[in-house]
Amino acid sequence: MKIAIYPGSFDPITNGHIDILNRASTVFDKIYVTVLTNPKKECFFTKEERVEIIKETVKDFDNIEVTFYDGLLVDYAEKVNATTIIRGLRAVSDFEYEFQLALTNRELNDHVDTVFFMTSKDYSYLSSGLVKQLSNFNGNISNLVPQIVQDKLKEKREK
Ligand code: ADP
């Protein structure tokens, strides 16, 4: 059984992430979408909120499970018997960071490899940060994120 992890901040999940999952879910038997703590990023949604939003978003996939992990990704991979880390690549600007991350993870555990899925041209400019900026100014994000993300962003801003 080919088990993979798609780790990220997902703050919030976007159609770009979902596009990667659509393609990866045909390649792997099981995918853990795992919300990780990224010390470089201050998140808008709590980890519980992000997990809940992703769960709702991927509920129709029968081979995707949503989890949270507060530790080293390769340790989590061992724990769930995953041999592959899935990451998405957008523009050249993603490459350097992703390259460093992939090599570091391989250094830590060479049984776990990273596989990259190239973004679709429709989402090559799309990031969670852009979605938050647009939503902050009431911009139209209906083509960029699922309905639940639109609702949760609105709900949280109005609190
Ligand atoms: P992280 O904080 O780990 O970078 P993100 O949620 O920003 O978490 O991204 C998770 C993964 O999804 C990364 O590999 C990122 O490059 C990829 N990704 C994000 N947005 C897109 C997109 N629009 N198209 C393809 N891949 C994407």
With a CB cutoff of 8 Å and minimum separation 6, the contacts of 130 are 144
Separation of 2 CA from ligand 1 center, angstroms? 22
For ligand 1, the distance from its centroid to the CA atom of residue 91, given in whole angstroms, is: 11
5, pLDDT greater than 80: yes
List helix spans (H) across the chain.
15-24, 47-57, 73-79, 92-108, 128-136, 147-158
Calculate what percentage of the chain has a pLDDT beyond 70. Answer: 100
Predicted pLDDT at 85:
98
What values do phi and psi take at 85, rounded to 5?
Answer: -105, 130
Phi and psi at residue 89, to the nearest 5°: -120, 125
Whether residue 152 has its Cβ less than 6 Å from ligand 1: no
Q: Are 23 and 57 in contact (CB under 8 A)?
A: no
pLDDT reported for residue 93? 80
pLDDT band at 41 (very low <50, low <70, confident <90, very high): confident
Catalytic residue among 30, 47, 55, 90, which?
90
What's at 14, amino acid-wise?
A: T
**How sure is the predictor about 63, in pLDDT bands with cuts at 50, 70 and 90?**
very high
Q: Check whether 76 has a pLDDT greater than 90.
A: yes
- Give the dihedral sign, CA 120/15/125/6: negative
Are 135 and 157 spatial neighbours (Cβ–Cβ below 8 Å)? Answer: yes
Catalytic residue check, 41:
yes
CB 149 within 8 A of CB 11: no
Does the pLDDT at position 50 exceed 90?
yes
